[in-house]
């Protein structure tokens, strides 16, 4: 026999909770429209239960006062659109060629777009955070990718590369420096109240300092290639550090000698250089050059070693 409904009982606290749940808009369904790309009917049949299961999960992870209930989402697969996928309001458009050519990536891309539907940020929002949050929920939460999966360009404000770069940074903040920061960022972006100060409030440090810490931690532990002779970088007009005899290193920019360094230390992970004339210490790591500043290493350039065969 069915339980009596709350309407038939004197009001009790539990019933108030039940009324609150019933007050959510009914439906909250996802429709995948394949009329323009019927060859993807099988893909849609596979993607629909995944999206239906994950929309409420994503909504709960991003729940803030005023979020409202779950939206009804229509996903249209079309041969007309030549990109990957995009969201507009509660509609998602996916390119049929892309679904065909990237079966391994297409459900994940749909999860990313579902996050955009839930975000509903006003125009002019920080692009790197909008895409970073969408990829954080897709790769870190939905796909369960480990920390080592995410690219970490060792450059100043590298988080501005958005997408997976920003996603890895957010995952690192969530796991250590600032648990709950994604929801706080989401709430601030929705309310058009985001400023970088939020990172100071959430983690006690400015955004750029957090980024430096994140990338410095990632650089440590990566081993240098064998037989290294030259490290090139593209930033700042491009240049290279070239090893000479007796632990001398020359930094070349635009084909000319720019600075001279003495090698002061070498480990499996880094070569350290010192320019006594300018008092500058550099660390040549597996994929970056860092500068010593106030006792810690700040990424200066993303760089690539050239080793002798």
- Interface positions with Zn ion (CB under 5 A): 131, 134
Least distance in Å: CB of 115 to Zn ion? 8
CA separation, residue 160 to residues 83, 96, 207, 212 (Å): 22, 29, 11, 13
Distance CA 260, CA 237 (A): 18
| Beta carbon nearer to Zn ion, 131 or 251 | 131
| Beta carbon nearer to Zn ion, 140 or 290 | 140
| Beta carbon nearer to Zn ion, 59 or 133 | 133
| Beta carbon nearer to Zn ion, 78 or 125 | 125
CA separation, residue 104 to residues 48, 101, 143, 228, 238 (Å): 15, 9, 12, 37, 37
Least distance in Å: CB of 284 to Zn ion? 35
For 97, half-sphere exposure in the C-beta direction (CA atoms, 13 angstrom radius) is: 6
Nearest to 21 by CA among 61, 58, 62, 56: 56
| Beta carbon nearer to Zn ion, 59 or 134 | 134
| Beta carbon nearer to Zn ion, 194 or 241 | 194
Parallel, antiparallel or unpaired: strands 73-78 and 91-95: parallel
Least distance in Å: CB of 111 to Zn ion? 11
Question: How deeply is 278 buried, as exposed, middle or buried, from its count of CB atoms within 10 A (0-12, 13-18, 19+)?
Answer: exposed
Nearest to 223 by CA among 296, 302, 305: 305
Least distance in Å: CB of 290 to Zn ion? 31
Distance CA 164, CA 169 (A): 9
Pseudo-torsion of CA 73, 76, 82, 85, nearest 10°? 20
Least distance in Å: CB of 303 to Zn ion? 29
Least distance in Å: CB of 162 to Zn ion? 9
Neighbours of 159 (CB within 10 A): 24
């Amino acid at each position: 026999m069915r339980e009596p409904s709350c309407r038939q009982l004197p009001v009790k606290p539990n019933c108030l909770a039940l009324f609150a749940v019933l007050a959510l808009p009914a439906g909250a369904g996802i429709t995948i429209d394949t009329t323009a790309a019927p060859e993807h009917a099988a893909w849609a049949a596979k993607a629909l239960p995944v999206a239906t299961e994950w929309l409420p999960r994503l909504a709960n992870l991003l729940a803030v006062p005023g979020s409202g209930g779950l939206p009804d989402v229509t996903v249209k697969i079309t041969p007309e659109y030549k990109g990957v996928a995009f969201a507009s309001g509660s509609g998602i458009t996916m390119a049929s060629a892309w679904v065909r050519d990237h079966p391994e990536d297409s459900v994940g891309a749909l999860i990313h777009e579902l996050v955009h539907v839930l975000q509903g940020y006003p125009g002019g929002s920080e692009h790197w955070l909008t895409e970073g949050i969408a990829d954080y929920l897709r790769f870190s939460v939905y796909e369960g990718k480990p920390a080592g999966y995410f690219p970490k360009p060792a450059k100043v404000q590298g988080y501005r590369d958005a997408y997976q770069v920003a996603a890895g940074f957010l995952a690192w903040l969530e796991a250590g420096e600032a648990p709950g920061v994604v929801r706080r960022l989401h709430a601030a972006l929705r309310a058009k109240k985001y400023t970088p100060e939020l990172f100071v409030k959430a983690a006690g440090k400015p955004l750029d300092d957090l980024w430096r810490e994140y990338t410095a931690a990632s650089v440590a532990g990566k081993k240098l290639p064998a037989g290294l002779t030259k490290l090139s970088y593209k930033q700042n007009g491009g240049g290279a550090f070239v090893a000479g005899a007796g632990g001398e290193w020359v930094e070349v920019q635009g084909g000319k000698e720019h600075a001279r360094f003495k090698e002061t230390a070498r480990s499996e992970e880094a070569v350290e250089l010192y320019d006594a004339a300018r008092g500058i210490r550099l660390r040549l790591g597996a994929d970056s050059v860092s500068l010593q500043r106030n006792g810690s290493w700040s990424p200066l350039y993303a760089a690539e070693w050239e080793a002798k065969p």
